Structure 1
Amino acid sequence: MIARVSRLIMLTAMSCASLLPLARARAGVFDDDEARRAVATMQDQFNGFQEKASQRINQNSRAQLEMQNQFEGLRQEVAPLRGQDEMLLNEVTTLQIKQKDYYADLDARLKKFEPQQVTVDGRQGLSQPGEKTEYDAALKQFQAGDFKGAGNVFSVFIKKYPQSPYAPLAQYWLGNSLYAQRDYRGSTTVLQNLVQAYPDHPKVPDALIAIANDQLESGQKSAARKTLAHVAAKYPGTEGALAASNRLRTLK
């Protein structure tokens, strides 16, 4: 009995031993299948990731292309605006130049109606608009030999512009106009007013000589000598003093 059991155990052990390689083989087969399934799964996952990446790349490419198209569209829209800006800038510059010229012209025109600082015979003064024109017109008449017409204009000028820097000259030429018309008394009065009102004026020596001429023409030879001597003594070295001295010599 014991021997039979021992044989049975031995046979069972031998049977199990013979089945062990087969079990191991079958386990190896199962491991390969799982590996293949894992590889297939990983391949599917990689393919899915690659497909998604490709889709994202394509989306990004389309977005970039769209952005480039939008940028090109904006550039094309901006180009005319830049041209308009340049046109507007040129127009503004032109308007500024025109405005500057306009105000310069306006200022020049307004100055014609404003008193101007002038220097006449070394003396400064304010000249009203039209003064110089009227004075020159009267002097031109005098030089043309129209003594009466010139005297009238000079007389009006003195009354119209009593503070004019041309007033002393107007008085001098008025005195000479009256002398030319043989109004010696009137001439003397005008010239004496000049000497009294403007004692330091450069025309005073000439005015005194003209007074001496009035005195001579009026038969006041002694008074004329006295006047000429006064000029020679008071204004030595001047043309007036020289003219007075020469005239004195002719009276002796």
Structure 2
Amino acid sequence: MSSNKVMRKLALVLLMSAATQVVAAPVSAANLDSLERMLEAQGQVQLQMQRRLEQMSSDIDELRGNVERNSYEIKKVVDRQRDIYREVDNLSRQPAKAEPTDAKKEATSSEAFSSNTDENAAYEKAVNLILKEKDYKGATKAFQSFLTTYPNSVYKPNASYWLGQLFFAQNQLADAATNFKVVADTKDSSKRADALLKLGVISERGNDIATAKKYYQEVIKAYPNSTSANQAKTALTKLK
């Protein structure tokens, strides 16, 4: 046999022997420890990620709940203001005796007209902000200015009533009550029945049920055939 063939056979035997040793060699303890630590670390990372995901999900659910609650509360406020503004608008359209000016339309036979032309003009301007321009914020400022300038005006009960309505529409109940009480203390005011009813509503919202009943009962007693009395009866029924 030639020397070249002998060398090739020897090399092949050595290669096969080395391959067999590599395949058959056992994994060392150090390698096992390293692999276990790697798997444990990976498990810890996955656990932390899972916890973070769960916390994020919980936070998102809480935020969603807050958004839904806030949206509901805002909707209630908007709906309440819309209803009250509609009521203000409806009241402003109630029939009245034909008179040359809106200021006179607001007065009744038991309420005198002012001889002061500036006073009449100021009151009429404030009224028109409600009746014609629907500028409720502007009307609020105008009536406040009117009552400051003319504190003893013959239009004071009417101005206080409209100011009470405007504050009521904005849910400023304390200011609304202050103005409605001015009307309630004016026995001959054409708006006294509704002012008493509103005072009852304000008391009810403030959880002063005894005072609310008192106002409702006064409306029913003093104005038994009025729309305000019917509303007061309904309100009383719900309180029982």
TM-score by length of 1: 0.47
Using CA pairs below 8 Å that are at least 6 residues apart, which structure has the higher relative contact order?
A: 2
TM-score by length of 2: 0.49
